[in-house]
Copies of this chain bind each other. A is one copy, B any other.
Amino acid sequence: MKEWFEELSTFVEKDRISWGESVLDLHSRDQSHHTPVRPDVVIWPQEVKEVCQILRFCNEKKIPVTPWGAGTSLEGNPIPIKAGVVLDFSLMNKILDIRAQDFQVDVQPGVVYQDLNEKLRHMGLFFPPDPGARATIGGMIGNNASGIRTVRFGSTRDYVLRLKVVLASGEVLQLGSRASKSSAGYDLLHLFVGSEGTLGIIVEATLKVVGMPPDSSAMIASFVDLREAGNAVFEIMRAGLEPGALEVLSEECVALIKKESDLDVPLKNLLFVEFLGPSMNYLRDVVLAAEELLKETGADTIQKGIGREKRDILFKARYQLGEMIIRNHPDRGFLTTDTAVPISKFPQLLMFARKITHGLDIPAYIFSHAGNGNIHVALMGKKGDNKEWSLIQEINERLVKKALELGGTCTGEHGVGIGKRPFMELEHKDAIVWMRRLKEFMDPNGILNPGKII
């Protein structure tokens, strides 16, 4: 037991601090392939005051502090690579206020977004960013998370109105406004969105929520050629049809889903598109227009008029895909790429992904939040096989370089964490210098989630 454990123990009750082996293990890894590193100690704060005390103490002693949501991230974002303290926010999980009349909620960082949406559903409201996993709001803000609904509703960034953050020094800042718009000075608020706990720790958030459009209609199109699916995505977006979801699953993903569920879809590359709208009249028109485009771009089969039940099954399968892939390759670990490009470049990036993963000995699964030009490739490497893993790293790097060349980004939604750090300079060029300076400016002792982003 380190000597500073004793002092830390005075800030919270005994049952909310632990250095037990299994607890440290649970907080040593996220869902990525990145090497686990155990923290020295895990604390479950319940009050803002406790977070302040802990940070003030750790800042003085230069002890690393890493905030922890649900550990569902995919780039090692919360792995405490310099050990120290992990602050697990699972006990700060209260929905503090729902102001349906203002389309706003106040939440603590440990709230799981699915639980929030379950509460909001009864009021016809929802919080649109949807990473799929049981992520917490704190983690989603830290990573600027997004998902299936982002093509229509935007990323987490677009839904953060106010934040209460604790800085490295233990100081509390209240940022933003409950007004729906403001021009009152510097936008410090959004600096913390996507900062992965490296600039400050989020202890409360006011989020915008939106009304759930009353009607929906989904379609599934199959394509023999993945290229045609890519073109169809572009045409649907270009036509301004504003889908509520637009996903692509390559044939190998579909094979897996069909094996693990009884989803009735063709064993082909699939394009899934859902429209949300104010009335069935509207949906009829937009579905007709989409059908036309799907035919023109070479769809093999088109199922339309898919209702909520089948849609939910498909969404669920999409979100369980990661787990399915892992389960089906028990001797392999996985790396998921996360590049995103402007929509006109999407077909090109998709075919590049296909080309460089085709015919490999390594299993590779391509799936995509296609409407955002965001492509994931799950690459499965044999555990301990350095040759395979360096090939996987090379493929990842080639995809990132291609995406940047096409005007895109190395990470659409998973954040930088450990895995995307090597590409920050390539993506941001001279601006990376200012990102480094900003980190030093906000956290001069470098205690907050050290070793991430920059």
Write the residues of chain A forming the contact surface with B, with a CB cutoff of 8 angstroms: 99-104, 124, 143-146, 150-151, 154-155, 157-158, 171-175, 177-188, 190-191, 193-195, 199, 211, 234, 238, 240, 242, 277-279, 281-282, 285-286, 340-344, 372-374, 403, 407-416, 420, 423-424, 427-432, 434-435, 437-439, 441, 453-454
Contact = CB atoms under 8 A, between A and B. Distances in A.
Which one of A158, A182, A373, A439 has the highest number of Cβ atoms from chain B below 10 Å of its Cβ? A182
A184 B102 contact: no
Contacts of A151: 180
B278 A430 contact: no
Given A181-B150, A277-B278, A188 B431 contact: yes
B183 A428 contact: no
Per CB-CB distance, the 8 closest pairs between chain A and chain B, nearest first, are A211-B240, A178-B407, A182-B409, A179-B340, A281-B281, A101-B344, A102-B342, A179-B408
A200 to B, nearest CB: 10
A216 to B, nearest CB: 14
B185 A416 contact: yes
A343 B420 contact: no
A157 B180 CA distance: 12
Given A101-B238, A177-B409, A431-B175, A183 B144 contact: yes
Contact of A185 (B234, B344, B414, B454): B454
How many identical chains are in the complex?
2
12 contacts: A101-B234, A101-B344, A102-B344, A155-B181, A158-B158, A179-B372, A179-B409, A183-B414, A184-B420, A185-B454, A186-B191, A277-B278
A290 to B, nearest CB: 13
Contacts of A234: 101
Given A340-B180, A343-B180, A194 B188 contact: no
Nearest to A75: B183
A101 B416 CA distance: 28
Given A181-B146, A282-B281, A372-B180, A453 B420 contact: no
A173 B431 contact: yes
Contact of A343 (B102, B211, B439): B102
B428 A184 contact: yes
Which one of A101, A199, A437, A454 has the highest number of Cβ atoms from chain B below 10 Å of its Cβ? A101
Given A178-B341, A185-B428, 7 more contacts: A177-B409, A179-B403, A183-B194, A183-B413, A186-B435, A188-B435, A282-B282
A430 to B, nearest CB: 6
Contacts of A186: 191, 194-195, 199, 435, 438-439, 453
